[in-house]
Chains A and B, each alone.
Chain A
Amino acid sequence: MTDILAYLAGALLIVGAFFSLAAAIGILRLPDLYTRMHAASKAGTLGSGLAFVAIAVFALDGSVALRALAGFVFFLLTAPISAHLLAKAAYAAGYRPTEMMKVNDLEKDK
């Protein structure tokens, strides 16, 4: 039983690490801050979330598992807010989106 849980936790860690890697590659490859936030806020959240779930599975201790899951929930609550704030602040500071952008309603309405 513990063996199975250890393998499960290991698998979760590997998948989570893969998502985190994808987030990092996304931050390097995408053209501007706005598109980069997509990679950081989504793949990054799921990556660290899976690591938390792995801890919860491996710990075999209710209080540790609960804390790990609470950590995941806090990630879910805070990651989109920080991504949103960075995007808003960048826009307010005058950081222009990539030239690839064709539709920009925010520009049009201001």
Chain B
Amino acid sequence: MTFLAIAVLLAVTWAAITGTFSLGNLLLGGAIGVAALWVIRLQITRPKFLSKVPKIIGLALLFLYELVLSSIKVMALVLSPNMKKSLEPAIIAFPLRVKSDMEITLLANLITLTPGTLSVDVAEDRSVLYVHAISAPDKRGLIKDISTGFEAKIMEVFE
């Protein structure tokens, strides 16, 4: 069921990108989608996709909001004359509570697009995500923000 939903989503995406919503084009998109899903079939875990749609939309909105906030922050930083003073870069070990590949990937991407943080690496045993912060005077505060913000939201979507 989830598989079918993803295939339909891919077919619609294909039609949107190619710009023609004809039956033939939708079927072609669906066929390519199924082929692509077949290639990655072993990596696909099956979260209960459809019932989570409102929470996924909530997460997407949060993501957009954080992106705008983060861009404005970076812009203000690089345009300020005494930039060097407000820089306090750090690489921080963030202890992961989420465990699956999908969740870690999503969290790493969200972190990269949020104010002042960029994911650099994941520990081999997936216990820690290394996060580069452009200005991190408060390490504990940053870890707490991520863990109660994005990580908690992701856990809601995937639980």
- Nearest-CB distance from A46 to chain B (Å)? 4
Choose the segment among B27-35, B41-49, B90-98 that binds chain A (4+ C-beta atoms closer than 8 Å).
B90-98
B residues 108-126 in Cβ contact with A at 8 Å: 108-110, 112-113, 116, 118-121, 123
What are 24 A-B interface contacts by the 8 Å CB criterion? Answer: A22-B78, A22-B79, A29-B78, A35-B87, A37-B132, A39-B78, A42-B67, A42-B71, A42-B113, A43-B75, A45-B67, A63-B21, A66-B19, A69-B16, A70-B13, A70-B17, A76-B113, A83-B112, A84-B119, A84-B120, A97-B91, A105-B91, A106-B91, A106-B93
Q: Looking across the interface, which residue of chain B has its beta carbon closest to that of A40?
A: B74
Q: Which of B16, B90, B108 contacts A102 (CB 8 A)?
A: B90
Residue in A closest to B117 when the chains form the complex, CB atoms = A38
Residue from the set A18, A29, A42, A76 with the largest chain B CB neighbour count within 10 Å: A42
**A2 at the binding interface (Cβ < 8 Å):** no
User: Which residue in chain A gives the minimum CB-CB distance to B71?
Assistant: A46
What's the nearest-Cβ distance from chain B to residue A73, in Å? 9
Question: What residues of B have a CB within 8 angstroms of the CB of A37 in the complex?
Answer: 118, 132
A106 and B118 form a contact (CB under 8 A): no
Do B78 and A19 touch across chains, with their CB atoms under 8 A apart? no
Q: Which residues 1-53 of B sit at the A interface, judged by CB distance below 8 A?
A: 13, 16-17, 19-21
**Cα separation A82 to B89 with both chains bound (whole Å):** 20
With A38-B134, A66-B16 as contacts: A100 and B112 at CB distance below 8 Å: no
Q: Digit string of A55-89 for contact with B (CB within 8 Å is 1, else 0)? A: 00000000110110110000011011101100110
Are A64 and B91 touching (Cβ within 8 A)?
A: no
Do residues B78 and A25 form an inter-chain contact, with CB atoms below 8 A? yes
Option from B74, B75, B79, B130 in Cβ contact (under 8 Å) with A105: B130
Instruction: State the CA gap A34–B89 with chains docked (Å).
Output: 9
A105 to B119, CA, bound (A): 13
Question: Are A43 and B74 within 8 A (Cβ)?
Answer: yes
Closest to A22 in B: B75
A3 within 8 A of B: no
B68 within 8 A of A: yes
Asked if B145 is at the interface of the complex by the 8 Å CB criterion, the answer is no
Apart from A29-B83, A37-B118, A38-B118, 6 more pairs, CB < 8 Å: A22-B71, A22-B78, A42-B113, A63-B20, A80-B112, A87-B118
Q: Which of B17, B67, B87, B110 contacts A46 (CB 8 A)?
A: B67
Across-interface contacts of B89 in A (CB, < 8 A): 31-32, 34-35, 97-98, 100-101
